[in-house]
A and B are shown apart, each in its own frame.
Chain A
Amino acid sequence: MADEGKKAKKTIIPDRVHMAEQAAEERVSNFKEVPLGYTEDQAAEEAKRCLQCKKAACSTGCPVEINIPEFIKLVAEKNFQEAAKKIKSTNSLPAVCGRVCPQEIQCESKCIVGKKGDPVSIGGLERFVADWERDHGTVEAPPRPQARNKKVAVVGSGPAGLTVASDLAKLGYGVTLFEALHKTGGVLVYGIPEFRLPKAIVQAEVDFVESLGVEIKTNALIGKLYTIPELMESGYDAVFIGIGAGGPMFMNIPGEELNGVYSANEFLTRSNLMKAYLFPEYDTPIKKNKKVAVVGAGNVAMDSVRTAIRLGADEVYLVYRRSEKEMPARNEEIERAKEENAILKLLTNPVRLIGNDKGWVTGMECIKMELGEPDDSGRRRPVPIKGSEFIIEVDDVIMALGTNANPLLTQATPGLELNKWGYVVADEETCATSIKGVYAGGDIVTGSATVILAMGAGRKAAKAIDSYLSTSA
């Protein structure tokens, strides 16, 4: 590593190739993707910035173990087809990861080039390769391995479930993926908006997983249609639980039952999964209100803010009790929200929602906050400033406060150990739970995290399930 560092210093590294994007004034009135992707030449040029490190630090930052220098070398050579194969040997969802991975804290944070300037755009290149392959219609399922006579049930089709399912199918296991909703993809389809992750792209990656031989069963709410013990009795030798952390959180302040107050899950599900932004062409309605307040500051809040703007709101407030520095969303998303004219109300906390005589929300009473001593999370604790209450006029309030564990399945699974917040207790390395043959990973174990961490857990679980099934009779 040391001598590679020196080499990096000696080489003059060109600036990162800029990826074109829709201008803010244009994109606020459509749901099309914001960054437009690289051209073939741009991708090859960006790939040439990679130093092809022998001990590639970048790969250690990738939870699904993509061989980054190798695929980038193929891109530099414009051998995009082989680059796609290389990536897909360990990652079935590259078009998704290239778009929504927080690369700045994963692979790119470790890239040696980043020590001098911008790291190599690993995510941008991964996205390019996946898009290239899809656009050229050359997506190929790898040859089917010899079938093994063991079956695995995967519950939940988010990134964790899709990864377990594809890894095990590649090993020859019979895999059934059970999904409660009518579409597969988890948060990728119901939460993350079209303008960040086009749904046709998610569908194409799900199709790839299916082409590996995975049987997909939508409309199957496990815990109700079948319980986990029933799945095991009916012939599944192992079960993976990847149901996400899908419970919405509210603030428990007065007025939350008023009309016009939603969880971000509801607002985003209407818009994304049900395509309510195309209402009445699609049947599910969504309110197109003018003065919208979004409470929270994570990716979910940014997505809600930017969706409300696209639905035609005039004023969209982002209400957050800490300061900009503590905002958990990706910087890129915060910047984009600001470019799109989101109004940041920082160090501000809602205390009460006010309604009119028809039961609709009309105002949000807030209190100003200041930062005190650090709390458990190491961030400075916000404390209310007495007497600083003020009212924001709103006709729509979206609570994007984070999520909690949805108890529906876990409560229907006797013997499954949960922690005090209701998340499943699973081994960090093997994803094994307290029930033999039952594994769990992704948000239902960690609480809301990221796509790539859920996929990393899926990879580990698939390995552990393989070794469990290979050794058990």
Chain B
Amino acid sequence: MYKVLDKKKLASTVTLLKLDTPEIAKKVKPGQFVIIRLNEEGERLPLTVNDFDREKGTITIVFQEVGKTTKLLGKLEVNEQIADVVGPLGKHTEIEKFGKVICIGGGVGTAVIYPVTRALYQAGNEVVGIVGARNKDLLTFVDEMEAVTNQLIVTTDDGSQGRKGLVTEPLKEILDSGEKIDHIIAIGPAIMMKFVCKTTEPYKVKTIVSLNPIMLDATGMCGVCRVRVGGETKFGCVDGPEFDGHQVDFDSLINRLKQYVAEEKISMATIEG
């Protein structure tokens, strides 16, 4: 059992939990994830490690409530327990001094890209951050991102905070300005990552994305997380979650994410009563 030590509601449907996981806290690196199983009946849910404290032995996760498991997770209170937390999983982000980098976070992806951004910033890169959400209420980690970027651009679809529009617009402007960009990382919904990659491809700037395929064991055993990357089949859980975005077949990924939509509705109905 793994105890919840702290809880923060970051937005109406976005929650942060701090978990007591000393062994994982010792090993995890930015970009890696954990699998969470709430209870005996629970499914295995992948969530990125948003932050960690090696001394205190804690990790934090940030998630958006989209279905049954994330809803139940959002209902957990401090001192309650989670049956299983497995990790650290997947490959960690390559942190190097690239030069000038752009870190793009979409929706809850902002929480996921935050530790990566911080690591890149601490490694001496000049970092531009672009964070976007549908509206003001869904924006998270803006202050934290502000602290670890040289410049931060905020966008919302409805203009309720920052610039009105999608993250791809300021991105294109920066690329068009002719300034040399050495490296780009984008984390968010698959559809956002797809369009970020479409935007950067003509400029030939390496663009890393963190994919979120459906997962089960996350140890390389089942193959449900397979994605086509550069014409090859890769497993998101062990070969990823980060890949060269220009090589990823996003349409297949987006299609595969729909596999259990009908069942997810049935699942939700069990808690909505």
Interface assignment of B43: CB less than 8 Å from any CB of chain A: yes
Which residues in chain B, 235-273, are within 8 Å of chain A measured between CB atoms? 238, 249, 252, 255-256, 258-260, 263-264, 266-267, 269-270
Contact, CB under 8 Å: A283 / B233: no
- List of A residues within 8 angstroms of B223 by Cβ: 248, 250, 262-263, 265-266
**Which of B83, B86, B221, B266 is close to A269, meaning CB atoms less than 8 Å apart?**
B221
Q: Which of A318-361 contact B (CB under 8 A)?
A: 358-359
- Listed by A's residue number, 24 A-B pairs whose Cβ atoms lie within 8 Å are A181-B219, A218-B84, A219-B84, A220-B23, A221-B87, A221-B219, A224-B27, A224-B89, A225-B87, A259-B258, A260-B259, A262-B223, A263-B224, A269-B216, A279-B263, A279-B267, A280-B270, A281-B41, A282-B41, A283-B43, A284-B44, A285-B263, A359-B252, A407-B220
CB of B68 within 8 Å of the partner chain = yes
Does A24 reach chain B (CB closer than 8 Å)? no
Chain B residues with CB under 8 A of A281: 41
B222 and A266 within 8 A (CB): yes
- A280 to B68: give the CA distance in the assembly, Å: 11
B224 touches A262 (CB 8 A): yes
Interface residue SS majority, chain A: loop
**Chain B, Cβ-Cβ closest to A248:** B223
Which A residues lie within 8 Å of B89 (CB)?
221, 224
B residues less than 8 Å from A247 (CB atoms)? 220-221
Most interface-central of B27, B68, B220 (chain A CB within 10 A) = B220
Query: Which residues from chain A contact B44 at a C-beta distance below 8 Å?
Result: 182, 274, 284
Asked if A408 and B220 sit within 8 Å, CB to CB, the answer is: yes
Q: Are B267 and A283 in contact (CB under 8 A)?
A: yes
Docked CA distance A251–B233 (Å): 11
- Interface pair B69/A257, CB less than 8 Å apart: no
Question: In the bound complex, do residue A269 and residue B217 qualify as a contact, i.e. CB atoms below 8 Å apart?
Answer: yes
Residues 76-122 of B contacting A (Cβ, < 8 Å): 83-89
Interface residues of A, CB < 8 Å — how many? 41
Q: How far is the CA of A246 from the CA of B85 in the complex (A)?
A: 21
Interchain CB contact under 8 A, A181 and B267: no
CA distance A246 to B69 in the complex (A): 27
Residues of the A chain whose Cβ atoms lie less than 8 Å from the Cβ of B219: 180-181, 221, 246, 406, 408
* A270 located at the interface, meaning its Cβ lies under 8 Å from any Cβ of chain B in the complex: yes
A257 pairs with B260, CB closer than 8 A: no
A246 and B221 form a contact (CB under 8 A):
yes
Could you say which residues of chain B place their CB within 8 Å of the CB of A220?
Answer: 23, 86
Q: Say yes or no for B194: interface residue by CB 8 A criterion.
A: no
| Chain B residues whose C-beta falls within 8 Å of the C-beta of A262 in the assembled complex | 223-224
A residues within 8 A CB of B14? none
Q: Give the distance to chain B from A264, nearest Cβ to Cβ, in Å.
A: 9
| Cα of A427 to Cα of B85 in the assembled complex, Å | 36
Contact A408 B259 (CB under 8 A): no
Interface residue? B136 (CB, 8 A): no
Determine the distance from Cα of A349 to Cα of B222 in the docked complex, in whole angstroms.
23
A:397-417 near B, CB below 8 Å: 406-408
In contact, B256 and A224 (Cβ under 8 angstroms) = no
The CA of A386 and the CA of B228, in the complex, are separated in Å by: 30
Assess whether B7 is interfacial by the CB under 8 Å rule: no
Instruction: Choose among B228, B238, B270 the residue with the greatest number of A CB atoms under 10 Å from its CB.
Output: B238
Whether A182 touches B37, Cβ cut-off 8 Å, given contacts A248-B223, A285-B263, is yes
Asked if B57 is an interface residue, CB under 8 A from chain A, the answer is no
CA–CA, A407 and B239, complex, Å: 11
A-facing residues in B37-68 (Cβ within 8 Å): 37, 41-44, 68
Find out whether the CB atom of B258 lies under 8 angstroms from the CB atom of A181: no
Let me know if B133 is at the binding interface, CB within 8 A.
Answer: no
B24 at the interface (CB under 8 A from A): yes
